[in-house]
Amino acid sequence: MTTFQEAIDTTKATLAAVPIYCGHGYDSVHDEAVALVLAAARMSATTDKSVLGAVLETTALERLADFVQQRAIHRLPTAYIIGKAWLGPLEFVCDSRALVPRSPLMEVIAADYQPWCTRTPRHIVDLCCGGGSLGILAALNRPDAVITLSDIDVDALNLARENLLMHAPPNARLLRADLLSGIAPRSIDVILANPPYVDGEDMQALPPEFGHEPNRALAAGVDGLLLVYRLLAEAADCLDEEGHLFLEVGNSWTALEEAFPHFAFEWLDLEWGGHGVCVIAQQELQYLRYGAGSE
Ligand SMILES: C[S@@+](CC[C@H](N)C(=O)[O-])C[C@H]1O[C@@H](n2cnc3c(N)ncnc32)[C@H](O)[C@@H]1O
């Protein structure tokens, strides 16, 4: 007979011995072990500690053994194993059709785009939406705005559709497009852009967990900015004159600084973690396009 506490302890020890890489929605091996055990027992992730002394059924133990093998040997992220991930207050369906949700842009949504946006946003675009977590958070946070969730990848959009059905925001729509190609000029107030941005060197060094995520969602050329140059130009045209681009580039923030040495990027101080997120006003994008990159 194995109690939940024993199952968590054993799972934790196995994962720590590998050691696995945490960072796809979990901070520690302990949290991953708890998630795997609760999912194996088909119990909610919010189950309280009173369950610790209870005994796991044989079927749950068999499922857990399979989960641990997938996590420790095949190095699948826990979110893909249990089929769920959380961003902010929301749960999302999660599988290898899109990245595991973890974008620090959720902090910008929670702050309601303040202090940058002085006007109430009417149209927000979740650009490169993947499974749709940011766009759905944005839609529920701003029911008075229209939210477009856009991605080039059909698989990612199908996952986003499942998540839209689960949360049912009435003000969100899906768009398949290459970056901002499907968006009318001057029609957007806020772009939340989370394009692929991992550079060549970082791609080589990523832990095996990332190998289960779609390559097209991560890899972005030698300097990580393959799509960013084009995005900066397109965003200048699509944004309203009072609009803002919130752009996540992670570790590639240094490459972006180097590419535009005369432009003072505003990098956000992210209280909930993460780095490499900047905000650029539409007027500044015009300047970036025509002047700041040149010597
Ligand atoms: C970093 S992932 C986005 C993750 C998502 N925002 C989230 O929080 O889960 C990058 C996404 O960009 C998409 N993508 C890649 N190239 C694109 C392009 N040219 N136009 C639009 N989307 C693109 C990929 O399909 C992938 O879903």
Nearest-atom number in ligand 1 for the CA of 218 is 1
Whole-angstrom CA distances from 181 to 64, 188, 239 are: 45, 13, 13
The answer to whether the CB of 216 is under 6 A from ligand 1 is yes
Measure 104 CA to ligand 1 centroid, in angstroms: 15
Residue 287, pLDDT score: 83
Segment 99-129, tens digit of pLDDT: 999 999 999 999 999 999 999 999 999 999 9
Measure 251 CA to ligand 1 centroid, in angstroms: 17
The answer to whether the CB of 153 is under 6 A from ligand 1 is yes
Nearest-atom number in ligand 1 for the CA of 178 is 20
End residue of a domain, out of 56, 82, 108: 82
Domain that holds residue 182: 96-292
Judgement on whether residues 132 and 77 belong to the same structural domain of the protein: no
Judgement on whether residues 59 and 152 belong to the same structural domain of the protein: no
Judgement on whether residues 175 and 237 belong to the same structural domain of the protein: yes
Category of 94 on φ-ψ map: left (φ > 0), alpha (ψ -120 to 50) or beta: beta
Decide if 236 is inside a domain. Answer: yes
Judgement on whether residues 68 and 103 belong to the same structural domain of the protein: no
Segment 64-80, tens digit of pLDDT: 999 999 999 999 999 99
Measure 226 CA to ligand 1 centroid, in angstroms: 12
Q: Is 186 helix (H, G, I), strand (E, B) or coil?
A: coil
Mean pLDDT by 10 residues, the chain (295 residues): 97 97 95 98 96 98 98 98 97 98 98 96 98 98 98 98 98 98 96 98 97 98 96 96 97 96 95 96 87 53
The answer to whether the CB of 194 is under 6 A from ligand 1 is yes
The answer to whether the CB of 128 is under 6 A from ligand 1 is yes
Encoded amino acid at 110, one letter: A
Q: Whose CA is nearest to atom 13 of ligand 1?
A: 128
Measure 186 CA to ligand 1 centroid, in angstroms: 22
Judgement on whether residues 149 and 272 belong to the same structural domain of the protein: yes
Decide if 88 is inside a domain. Answer: no
Residue 290, pLDDT score: 67
- CATH number of domain containing 286: 3.40.50.150
Residue 289, pLDDT score: 75
Residue 295, pLDDT score: 46
Q: Whose CA is nearest to atom 25 of ligand 1?
A: 153
What's the predicted TM-score (pTM) here? 0.96
Taking the C-alpha atoms of residue 71 and residue 73, their distance in angstroms, rounded to an integer, is: 6
Domain count, the chain: 2
Judgement on whether residues 61 and 161 belong to the same structural domain of the protein: no
Measure 129 CA to ligand 1 centroid, in angstroms: 6
Judgement on whether residues 63 and 142 belong to the same structural domain of the protein: no
End residue of a domain, out of 82, 111, 145: 82
End residue of a domain, out of 28, 60, 82: 82
The answer to whether the CB of 156 is under 6 A from ligand 1 is yes
The answer to whether the CB of 130 is under 6 A from ligand 1 is yes
Measure 112 CA to ligand 1 centroid, in angstroms: 22
Decide if 123 is inside a domain. Answer: yes
Judgement on whether residues 16 and 39 belong to the same structural domain of the protein: yes
Judgement on whether residues 186 and 236 belong to the same structural domain of the protein: yes
Segment 158-192, tens digit of pLDDT: 999 999 999 999 999 999 999 999 899 999 999 99
Decide if 141 is inside a domain. Answer: yes
Q: Is 31 helix (H, G, I), strand (E, B) or coil?
A: helix
List strands edge to edge, sheet with 172-176. 172-176, 146-151, 123-127, 188-193, 239-248, 277-281, 266-267
Judgement on whether residues 186 and 208 belong to the same structural domain of the protein: yes
Measure 40 CA to ligand 1 centroid, in angstroms: 30
Decide if 226 is inside a domain. Answer: yes
Judgement on whether residues 156 and 263 belong to the same structural domain of the protein: yes
Decide if 90 is inside a domain. Answer: no
Is omega for the bond preceding 115 within 30 degrees of 0, making it cis? yes
Judgement on whether residues 135 and 35 belong to the same structural domain of the protein: no
